[in-house]
Structure 1
């Protein structure tokens, strides 16, 4: 990447690495193997996923307790930290239960049951009990992040090995960071344990940033103020206060303009769009999505690689808002445009997603013939993905709805052809994947951003 490297571009690499595993169902522990210069970037990515502007469906938590060598003591400390999240003494802005009540998402009251044996397996069960009290998380996992901190130099292998042997239930996932040159977790890769070995160019990105302005630890430097302002915007989404959020977004955009970096400005606009969506200020979310799209198109015209990434995310965001507001024709036009652009970019996943959402919206309207045709286009696009991705992504939802609509509007012989094709794309057990009980509730939904 060299001269064109930027911190924002490296961040979106981290997003892509996680996207490669996000829809896989079997893994229980994902370990990032990072170089010294890359740890902060991975940590920042995981922190953003904990915030309302995270991009993935899973709900991320972070345990701050450092590992100090004793597995049993560590597990006990994790239990105490978990209970502390629900303490009456917790700061209001971190009060999970109050936030859930405010948003109408708490189905029943929840208090941690500290009477059970304090094992890791019981902690995951307790977290799943909490998850069951929250509306809209049926298809999401709790992803628990164990940061690399004071435990450097101490082996965490035995603790993670024991946790895996005790069993991690469906709906819980763990992730951590390990140092490339000083490993603290040495486990064999398996369906349950996967490694992410990112290749970042942070040295070049930081060099380019320094070349523009050597700010060091200057707290008033635009680069540092930008980072602080991103956090300020994220914090505002927890307060559901549009006037306050509007003020902080304006500050963010002012600082971004000072940096004279088009990627930074575009990322700031997209953060603004996501933040407005998080507090249901849909009108403003669309405005900032449009601004992001406009800047991203300029970047694409200038041949900047990051331009398309911003464009597809902002277009998806705007389409999601229109979908939420049931403005189906406008949403379909955007999703169709997304699919067409993705074809030019050789991005089969977004071709599939664009056409899948067009099909879903036509299905909602009862236009089954058009819905079926869109689902076929989505499946054709998904056929360019690996079988593993097809089996663990929204490809299976498109397949379910293609069968559901097709059986109502097409001849049986046509459906036999489709079924044969699904067997080729998904394998011999395709019916279990596509027609199982979970698929009966096939719906397209966005992540519920309830934890900050």
Structure 2
């Protein structure tokens, strides 16, 4: 795999992350790096890991990303150990290509002995490759978890458990989620918390400037959009609105309806957290009006633009707890998705409509929309269903069977969900209610 060429602002931020890593490994007692990222910084972490993983054998430390789901704290270590073996096997070719002798095999254990922990396996890997690699970094990014409490329990157990100094845990965490904050405060010597602080809004503006073409409509729109995003991040709402206005006018003059929708929705998303749902809704309604205009003009993307803008409208209505109107909008989303042949979004529209009706205690309407979500799922192939929100739609319906009117439907519902997703169909973590 050929790595992409990285621009100077990205390279500078990668170096910031490497500096933060070096600061951590210089702390003799620290065992785990609790690395906190803003939502727009996670792509930089992904870039760092990609560079490190695909450059295996060229850097001083070996980074191994482990994504096994945490189904229970008791079984997570075993899952990580098995994944580590698989991950190392996949790395052999790259290590060999970099001139690293890659014949490591896991230590033998007696049949009656307990299996080796992931820490013991990582320590063995380090011993084999020493002094080529100074440290082995186990980057834990579980694709799902039973609960944040279970995650925190496992992490605390891990940092207090057996430890090999050349092996370090790395737990990236979004800034808006603080699952490990309390554990980190309770074990300050063992857990080092670092806020990435990459200021990605500035980086994107620098990249846009370096890309050039700012005297063309396309380049000017791109730069206005980036500037709007930066202004939102800095809390300069007046500047953000100015950029949105200029971008919308420029796109409108050229008939770029899709870019007008993008600009309205982007500012609305920023205002949702900065000023609240009322301000966001005003922007989203403007996007909806442009999408309707695109449909009237015969734009083939009009229906998709309308679906996207109504999803945004629905999110603002949910944030306002305007359940009835939100449900109505999500029903419209489902109908639009069916019209353009998008069963994934049709399922999501019905699921969200059902959830909103449930919040309004409109039980019959909720059940109707929930079952429509299951009907949409039947139009999808098995992999698509597994990667959809079908499990949450089923869990919502299962909750409704606690109502007297739907008690007799529980068994049939469970059988249907098992048919669609398999016996372990129920989500292991709470679903995000908002589409």
Q: TM range, normalised to the smaller chain?
A: 0.5 to 0.7
Answering whether residue 314 of structure 2 is matched by residue 319 of structure 1, we say: yes
Answering whether residue 265 of structure 2 is matched by residue 366 of structure 1, we say: no
- How many Å separate the matches in 1 of 2:25 and 2:220? 42
- How many Å separate the matches in 2 of 1:362 and 1:159? 56
- How many Å separate the matches in 2 of 1:141 and 1:409? 47
- How many Å separate the matches in 1 of 2:227 and 2:406? 57
Q: CA deviation at 1:317?
A: 0.7
- How many Å separate the matches in 1 of 2:350 and 2:401? 16
Q: CA deviation at 1:247?
A: 2.3
The 5 A counterparts of 1:231-270 are 231-270=226-265
The answer to whether the Cα contact below 8 Å between 2:213 and 2:219 also exists between their aligned partners in 1 is: yes
Which residue of structure 2 aligns with residue 163 of structure 1?
63
The answer to whether the Cα contact below 8 Å between 1:339 and 1:351 also exists between their aligned partners in 2 is: yes
Residue of structure 1 aligned with 2:433, choices 431, 444, 448? 444
The answer to whether the Cα contact below 8 Å between 1:355 and 1:374 also exists between their aligned partners in 2 is: yes
- How many Å separate the matches in 2 of 1:327 and 1:260? 33
Residue of structure 2 aligned with 1:64, choices 13, 18, 30? 13
- How many Å separate the matches in 2 of 1:80 and 1:239? 25
Q: CA deviation at 1:243?
A: 2.6
Answering whether residue 352 of structure 2 is matched by residue 357 of structure 1, we say: yes
- How many Å separate the matches in 2 of 1:400 and 1:382? 14
TM-score by length of 1: 0.55
- How many Å separate the matches in 2 of 1:268 and 1:317? 12
- Which 4+ runs in 1 deviate beyond 4 A? 81-84, 140-143, 157-162, 168-171, 410-413
SS of the equivalent of 1:385 reads coil
Which residue of structure 2 aligns with residue 424 of structure 1?
419
Tell me which structure has the larger Cα radius of gyration. Answer: 2
Residue of structure 1 aligned with 2:378, choices 380, 383, 387? 383
Answering whether residue 84 of structure 2 is matched by residue 145 of structure 1, we say: no
The answer to whether the Cα contact below 8 Å between 1:222 and 1:258 also exists between their aligned partners in 2 is: no
The answer to whether the Cα contact below 8 Å between 1:266 and 1:295 also exists between their aligned partners in 2 is: yes
Which residue of structure 2 aligns with residue 80 of structure 1?
19
- How many Å separate the matches in 2 of 1:411 and 1:357? 19
The answer to whether the Cα contact below 8 Å between 1:352 and 1:377 also exists between their aligned partners in 2 is: yes
The answer to whether the Cα contact below 8 Å between 1:352 and 1:381 also exists between their aligned partners in 2 is: yes
Deviations 1:15-55 (A, max 9, x none): xxxxxxxxxxxxxxxx8x89xxxx69xx99xx9xxxxxxxx
The answer to whether the Cα contact below 8 Å between 1:343 and 1:351 also exists between their aligned partners in 2 is: yes
The 5 A counterparts of 1:13-28 are none
Deviations 1:182-216 (A, max 9, x none): xx999xxxxx9xxxxxxxxxxxxxxxxxxxxxxx9
The answer to whether the Cα contact below 8 Å between 1:362 and 1:371 also exists between their aligned partners in 2 is: yes
The answer to whether the Cα contact below 8 Å between 2:318 and 2:434 also exists between their aligned partners in 1 is: no
TM-score by length of 2: 0.57
Deviations 1:233-287 (A, max 9, x none): 0011122233332223223223334544333333323323333324235334223
Task: Flag the 1:255–1:332 CA change in 2: closer, same or farther, 3 A.
Answer: same
The answer to whether the Cα contact below 8 Å between 2:343 and 2:376 also exists between their aligned partners in 1 is: yes
SS of the equivalent of 1:64 reads helix
- How many Å separate the matches in 2 of 1:242 and 1:387? 44
Q: Which structure carries more relative contact order (alpha carbon 8 Å, separation 6+)?
A: 1
The answer to whether the Cα contact below 8 Å between 2:373 and 2:393 also exists between their aligned partners in 1 is: yes
Answering whether residue 178 of structure 2 is matched by residue 229 of structure 1, we say: no
Task: Flag the 1:80–1:290 CA change in 2: closer, same or farther, 3 A.
Answer: same
Task: Flag the 1:79–1:420 CA change in 2: closer, same or farther, 3 A.
Answer: same
The answer to whether the Cα contact below 8 Å between 1:63 and 1:146 also exists between their aligned partners in 2 is: no
Deviations 1:115-140 (A, max 9, x none): 2589xxx67x522xx47xx9xx9xx9
- How many Å separate the matches in 1 of 2:320 and 2:358? 16
Which residue of structure 1 aligns with residue 293 of structure 2?
298
Answering whether residue 397 of structure 2 is matched by residue 402 of structure 1, we say: yes
Which residue of structure 2 aligns with residue 310 of structure 1?
305
SS of the equivalent of 1:126 reads strand
Which residue of structure 2 aligns with residue 126 of structure 1?
34
Task: Flag the 1:376–1:158 CA change in 2: closer, same or farther, 3 A.
Answer: farther
The answer to whether the Cα contact below 8 Å between 1:348 and 1:384 also exists between their aligned partners in 2 is: yes
Count how many residue pairs are aligned between Structure 1 and Structure 2: 298
- How many Å separate the matches in 2 of 1:361 and 1:155? 45
Unmatched tracts of structure 1, length 5 or more: 1-30, 48-60, 67-76, 85-111, 172-183, 187-191, 193-215, 447-452
